Homo-oligomer: A and B are copies of this chain.
Amino acid sequence: MEDEVDRLVAAWRRERPDLDVEPLEVLSRVSRLARHLDRARRLAFSEHGLEPWEFDVLTALRRAGTPYQLSPGQLLTQTLVTSGTMTNRIDRLAKKGLVERLPDPSDRRGVLVRLTDEGRDRADQALAGLLEQERAILAELSHAQRSELAALLRQLTAPFDNVPG
């Protein structure tokens, strides 16, 4: 089945036949799919009274395991936002009672963000809902295709995830 990127690529080949636009076949699809997923997630989470950004932070802490705490810096690398954004996110989650800020005992510059019990429950509930939704989206593909797709994507993400940048 054709998608919007097929139309986009065909249009470029008509308008700019001098250019090789093959990269768009992969990377424009990645960007557009991410946007569609964002919208779908926003809907799924609204049933649990969470925003996507809240989910991202809460689940990062949930994954850390007991006592469910990480520094803002560790949260940055997991969520790919700027430090100013993270400060703001922590403020708002703390105001809602889903996390709390603690001083880092081993570094007086540092802070530890800890999940509250309610934060943990909300994260667990929202995760179950998200997985259900994602399974439905991925039903388009066989198990073998999903593995193949994951492996190919890993090759593209690994360079980004393993350099200072």
Contacts and interface: CB of A to CB of B under 8 A. Distances in A.
Interface of A: 1-6, 8, 11-12, 14-16, 19-27, 29-39, 62-65, 77-78, 80, 124, 127-128, 131, 134-135, 137-138, 140-141, 145-150, 152-162
Nearest to A155: B140
Contacts of A31: 34, 37-38
A21 B106 CA distance: 34
Given A5-B154, A30-B34, A149-B149, 13 more contacts: A4-B77, A8-B78, A11-B63, A11-B64, A16-B127, A26-B150, A27-B37, A32-B157, A32-B161, A36-B157, A140-B155, A149-B152, A149-B153
A148 B144 CA distance: 13
A131 B4 contact: no
13 contacts: A1-B158, A2-B158, A3-B162, A8-B78, A14-B65, A20-B131, A23-B137, A24-B134, A27-B138, A29-B153, A29-B154, A32-B161, A141-B155
